[in-house]
Amino acid sequence: MAAIKATLNRLDAKGSPYLYVLPFFLLFGIFGLFPLIYTGYVSFNDWNLLDGGAHEWVGLANYREMLHDSYFWNSLGNTLSIWVLSTVPQLLAALWIAHLLNHKLRARTSLRMGVLLPNITSIVAVTIVFTQLFGRDFGMINWLLGLVGVGPIDWQADTWSSHLAISTIVMWRWTGYNALIYLASMQAIPHDLYEAAELDGASTTQQFWKITVPQLRPTIIFTTVISTIGGLQIMAEPLLFAGTSTPTGGSDRQFQTIALFMYEQGFREFRFGYASAIAWTLCLIIAVFAIANFLLTRRIAKDEE
Amino acid sequence: MRVNRSVRVIAAAMTAAVAMTACGSGDGGDSGSDKVTLSVSLFGNFGYEELYKQYEQAHPNIKIQERTADYNAHHRDLATHLATNAGAADIEAVDTGFIAQMREVGNQFTDLGTDRAAEYLPWKWQASLTKDGKQIGYGTDVGGLAICYRRDLFQQAGLPADRDQVSAAWASGWDKYIELGQQFTKKAPKGTAFFDGGGALYNAVIGQAPVGFYNTDNSIVVSSNPEVRKAWDLVVKAIQANLSAKLIESSPEWNNGFAKGQFATIACPAWMMAKIKDQSKAFAGKWDVAAVPGGGGNWGGSYLTVPKQGKHVAEAKALAAWLTAPEQQSKVFTTQGLLPSIPSLYDKPEVGALKDPFFNNAPVGKIFTTAAKELKPQYQGPRAGDIQTTIRDGLVRVEQGKQSSDQSWTQTVSDVERLAK
């Protein structure tokens, strides 16, 4: 009897943790792994969505075509440009905001909650509002520029201006979110480090760079990787920024991102196989960037130490 | 993270939706009364609100739900629903620009039969007929063509504002329209252009050609049909004369443009009148309608289809037939100005003699039925809607000063060739 009980106990201790994490892996298998593999399979086919899924195995033809497709490279360039323009200032600003919020302030909690507000608003609503702000004829930003004597800018027309506008939307939404993550991490930094630094006569700026940033290393790596994954997948903002829900990203594809290009090929051209090849390539690019990011930020943070 | 988030939200919403449909089918809808809910998916304003109420009163077991999206999103959604065999509404509207694409996958739609063939304009009936003779859609309206214009702005610019004079001024063709535009621009109020945007003007001009983007064998002739390039050159000329407000049709800025009086004329198929009324309320009575330069043409017009995947195909078919029946088409014309596709209505007084106070009591009935009678039907191929968008983008590049007309044309032709792949 006791032996059975002991066995059960042992089973419970060894087995039940696996049972606890099982739901995640089940869900991941269904909603993550299966689509990933299936998309891979589709990408080797010439597959027209509208023909009721009629398809033909073509091997690497979709990938070959993609490498010679100037619109693919165009969308890749746009994605990288928007990613850099939004992620770098966003994370720096988040760090700075978190640093400010970490001080003793009046109404501290509401201020801290306040920075999260942009994040909980609907992405569609935000983009529509910003598209109005960046309007060519009656937008507020052009009006403000007019006050200081700068002529109106057709924000959608040019590559640089459309990228800047889209990056602004991304930054507005995600800076506060990252700031809160930094803030949470900052509060875990032992206070005696700062006290010791103060005794040694270090300024606030010095404390920030010599204590806060190195201590935040894992968090900075985390937010950089997460922002990179999000930034490379950006789609809703450029789609809505065009105003007419055409997935070409402007008259000359000047703000068509990879995700948008994939969407265009899949759901306007109904070239399911080609779109899947783009999806897989995007996945690989993100993986490469995430790893490169991880290595790079780890080195930078180490240098700071 | 961003997309992850939205994907998660969508996933949650879809799970909820699936759960709800599951419940719905579980107990067979409202079990007591056996109510059937029919969903109708449209783009823009079809003017059906009142008709639904009437139909629901006559059919107590039917409840109608309408959902609308914008033009491109609506058709893309429909195609996706057909491809995945799930999610389409019981009745789906399809525009002229997309009807050929749907016709190619005609087996996805309920065959509506040939009972009503004799009622319709022959070309309208043909356009939604599959190769093997199945009818996939009941025609709702046809576009027809006219020019809507702001008489007050014409007056301010010192032009004749009376509709007969205006019609006469450009009766000989679009070149005269451009000339009048140049006169207008000289004295026009600041911030007012002559027309809304190159893309929309282009649709009207090409709508008058006997052959547009396609031959009847479904081959794309954009690069070889001289009419396509002729219309392009004409619009470019108008853009370069600085007559365009550079707005893209149906964009938020375009809607804004109505309210701010950014343009004085707009190529005006009958359905455009509903859009003008929606966006330009403050200028009621100041709009007017003149004949289109260069004779009749067509831009737009829609169909109601019944996808096979719907749960209540029989009920949906009955509703679609009723909504497009002569009596209802006539009502929609009087309330919303959508021109019927049933020619026997054209000589009825409530259609042919209709005047619209919003448009300064213009005889819209006469103008549009005349346009419809003069109309030379143009064959529409599978990707007509997307080709239209591609050409619009090309003209926008010219408007934005990014490319010369020739550069933009070259790119447009190669983009159209991509579509054909």
pLDDT in tens, B277-315: 999 999 999 999 999 998 888 999 999 999 999 999 999
Q: Measure the CA–CA gap between A21 and A23, rounded to whole angstroms.
A: 6
**Residue with more model confidence, B199 or B5:** B199
pLDDT in tens, B97-120: 999 999 999 999 999 999 999 999
- Looking at residue A302, what is its pLDDT? 64
What phi-psi label fits residue B142: left (phi over 0), alpha (psi between -120 and 50 degrees) or beta?
beta
pLDDT in tens, A149-164: 998 999 999 999 999 9
**Quick check: pTM over 0.80?**
yes
Helix, strand and coil in chain B, % to nearest 5 = 50, 15, 35
- Looking at residue B33, what is its pLDDT? 58
The token duo for B327 is 């009596």
Q: Which residue of B has its CA nearest to A260?
A: B3
**Runs of H (alpha helix) within B85-224:** 96-104, 122-127, 151-156, 163-169, 174-187, 198-206
Q: Does the beta-carbon distance from A137 to B262 stay under 8 Å?
A: yes
- Calculate mean pLDDT across residues B368-386: 90
The token duo for A139 is 């937008």
- Looking at residue B32, what is its pLDDT? 45
Q: Angle of helix A272-304 relative to helix A258-267, nearest 10 degrees?
A: 170
Average pLDDT over chain B, rounded to an integer = 91
Q: Are B241 and B336 in contact (CB under 8 A)?
A: no
- Looking at residue B23, what is its pLDDT? 43
Partners of residue A245 in chain B, C-beta under 8 Å:
70, 72-73
The pLDDT-based confidence of B29 (bands split at 50, 70, 90) is very low
**Runs of H (alpha helix) within B47-89:** 49-58, 71-84
- Calculate mean pLDDT across residues A79-84: 96
Q: Does the beta-carbon distance from A170 to B403 stay under 8 Å?
A: no
> In this complex, is the C-beta atom of B404 within 8 Å of any C-beta atom belonging to chain A?
no
Q: Measure the CA–CA gap between B76 and B41, rounded to whole angstroms.
A: 12
Cβ-Cβ contacts under 8 Å between A and B: the total is 100
Closest CA to B76 of B51, B106, B108, B41: B41
Partners of residue B18 in chain A, C-beta under 8 Å:
none
Residues in A lying within 8 Å of B, measured between beta carbons: 31, 49-53, 123, 128, 131-132, 135-138, 154, 157-158, 170, 173-174, 226-227, 229-231, 233-236, 243-246, 248, 251-252, 259, 267-271
Q: Measure the CA–CA gap between B325 and B257, rounded to whole angstroms.
A: 35
Query: Which residues make Cβ contacts (< 8 Å) with residue B294, sequence separation at least 6?
Result: B173, B174, B205, B208
- Looking at residue A54, what is its pLDDT? 79
The CATH number given to A65-303 is 1.10.3720.10
Average pLDDT over chain A, rounded to an integer = 91
Q: Which of A295-299, B218-222, B386-390, B412-416 has the lowest mean pLDDT?
A: A295-299
pLDDT in tens, A103-145: 777 788 888 888 889 999 899 999 999 999 999 999 999 999 9
Among A51, A233, A246, beta carbon nearest to B72 = A246
Give the CA count within 13 Å in the CB-facing half-sphere of B16.
Answer: 6
Q: Are A201 and A285 in contact (CB under 8 A)?
A: no
- Calculate mean pLDDT across residues A278-289: 95
Partners of residue A234 in chain B, C-beta under 8 Å:
2-3
Q: Are A112 and A183 in contact (CB under 8 A)?
A: yes
- Looking at residue A304, what is its pLDDT? 53
pLDDT in tens, A165-178: 999 999 999 999 99
Is residue B20 predicted with pLDDT exceeding 60?
no
CA distance A304 to chain B (A): 27
Domains, chain B, with CATH or none: 36-142+300-353 (3.40.190.10), 146-299+357-420 (3.40.190.10)
pLDDT in tens, A209-241: 889 888 998 899 899 999 999 999 999 999 999
The pLDDT-based confidence of B2 (bands split at 50, 70, 90) is very low
Q: Measure the CA–CA gap between A205 and A188, rounded to whole angstroms.
A: 19
| Domain-wise residue ranges, chain A | 1-43, 65-303
Beta bridge partners of B220: B214
> Percent of chain B at pLDDT above 70?
92
